[in-house]
Amino acid sequence: MSFGKHITFSTGAQLPQIGLGTWMSQPKEVENAVEFAVRNGYRHLDLAMIYENQHEVGAALKKVIPSVVKREELFLTSKLWNSAHQAAWAEKELDETLKQLGTDYLDLYLVHWPIAFPPGNGLNPPHATKEDEIAIDTTTSLVETWKAMIALPKSKVRSIGVSNFTIDQLKGIIEATGVVPVVNQIEAHPLLPQDDLVAYCKAQNIHITAYSPLGNNLIGRPKLTEHPVVKEVARKLDATPAQVLIAWGVYRGYSVIPKSVHEDRILSNFKQVELSKEDYEKVTAIGHGNYTRFNIPYTYKPKWDVNIFDEPIEKAAALKVKIH
């Protein structure tokens, strides 16, 4: 059985390049998906408290550890949710994640978003007066949260990183602490190449994990797997469109975490195909003049009234990210 290629982190740790995403994997589906994936070679799982399915992932892990894999052969990533960004809360939430997963450590723990919510009132605390909004904690800074991540016991977390961070947000936490995140997990597909952010991360030795590699869309457009150019390259390579999109991320040096709960897709997504420079450029070109970021919390319902990425639609937001 092939276990796929690995990325070596700045710390020397080894990350399997293709992992299984689990966001929106439904109850019962996710347990089967994780068990099936591990039985078929996946060693990297992308998890989070906010996906509210980690206990099911834990049930699947029980079925495969140690009969199929040793714990240390798996690479488990999870994420600190916004409502536990405060120094007094971060380790408590980590402990809850470890309990849900039935493990005593994570390989990688990420700050899920550069936004804090007030703690102690659920994962999505409602705004006190505005029905369609989430409450934002405007006092806890990214630097405070990053310091809380740095202070987590190494016995519980092997590496720390961030997710959905921009260049300015990364610079802010690095300059304040001298500690560089090992990973920035970001939305990354041909419609959102983010070349400046990618170049900055490369210069800082921050590895990029690509989420929504298939262009999972929250705004009702067809998925990128339906794009005629992606389909054409796939036909030529005798591959699936998803394999082409995953290979596009791999070509750029990312690790890639496609989500599926279907066994045939879990298998085929894991099978790496390689793009020639010409095919890579063909797929890249579909993003020219077609820039699209799908995941913008300002557009969620209920919304987070904060400008994270400085996208045009976010300019109307009342709040900015509090870096310091």
Which residues line the annotated binding site? 112
Q: Interface with ligand NAP includes 184 (CB under 6 A)?
A: no
Q: What whole-number distance in Å separates Cα of residue 22 and Cα of residue 259? A: 6
Catalytic-role residue among 51, 109, 254, 298: 51
Using CB under 6 A, which of 240, 255, 297, 309 touches ligand NAP?
240
Look-up of token digits 């068990």: 35
Task: Kindly identify the residues of this chain, within the stretch 264-283, that bind ligand NAP according to CB under 6 A.
Answer: 265, 268-269
188-215 burial code (b ≥16 CB/10 A, e <16): bbbbbbbeebbebbeeeebbbbbbbbbb
Q: Interface with ligand NAP includes 107 (CB under 6 A)?
A: no
Q: Where are the beta strands (DSSP E) in the chain?
A: 6-8, 14-16, 44-46, 75-80, 106-111, 157-163, 183-187, 207-211, 255-256, 306-307, 319-320
Binding window for ligand NAP (CB under 6 A); candidates: 140-148, 150-158, 251-259, 314-322: 251-259
Q: What whole-number distance in Å separates Cα of residue 159 and Cα of residue 109? A: 6
| Residue 298: active-site member | no
Q: Interface with ligand NAP includes 300 (CB under 6 A)?
A: no
Q: Interface with ligand NAP includes 249 (CB under 6 A)?
A: no
Q: What whole-number distance in Å separates Cα of residue 310 and Cα of residue 270? A: 34
Q: Interface with ligand NAP includes 145 (CB under 6 A)?
A: no
Q: Site mask, ligand NAP, residues 36-65, x = CB under 6 A?
A: ----------x-------------------
In the complex, least distance from residue 210 CB atom to ligand NAP, rounded to whole angstroms: 8
Using CB under 6 A, which of 130, 221, 236, 262 touches ligand NAP?
262
List of residues 6+ apart from 247 with CB closer than 8 A: 239, 272, 273, 274, 275
DSSP codes of every residue in 267-286: HHHHS-----HHHHHHHHHT
Q: What whole-number distance in Å separates Cα of residue 143 and Cα of residue 79? A: 17
Strand partners, 106: 157
Q: Interface with ligand NAP includes 307 (CB under 6 A)?
A: no
Q: Interface with ligand NAP includes 231 (CB under 6 A)?
A: no
In the complex, least distance from residue 297 CB atom to ligand NAP, rounded to whole angstroms: 9
Specify whether the CB–CB gap between 86 and 140 falls below 8 A: yes
Q: Interface with ligand NAP includes 216 (CB under 6 A)?
A: yes
Q: Interface with ligand NAP includes 211 (CB under 6 A)?
A: yes
In the complex, least distance from residue 244 CB atom to ligand NAP, rounded to whole angstroms: 10
Q: Interface with ligand NAP includes 194 (CB under 6 A)?
A: no
Active site residues: 51
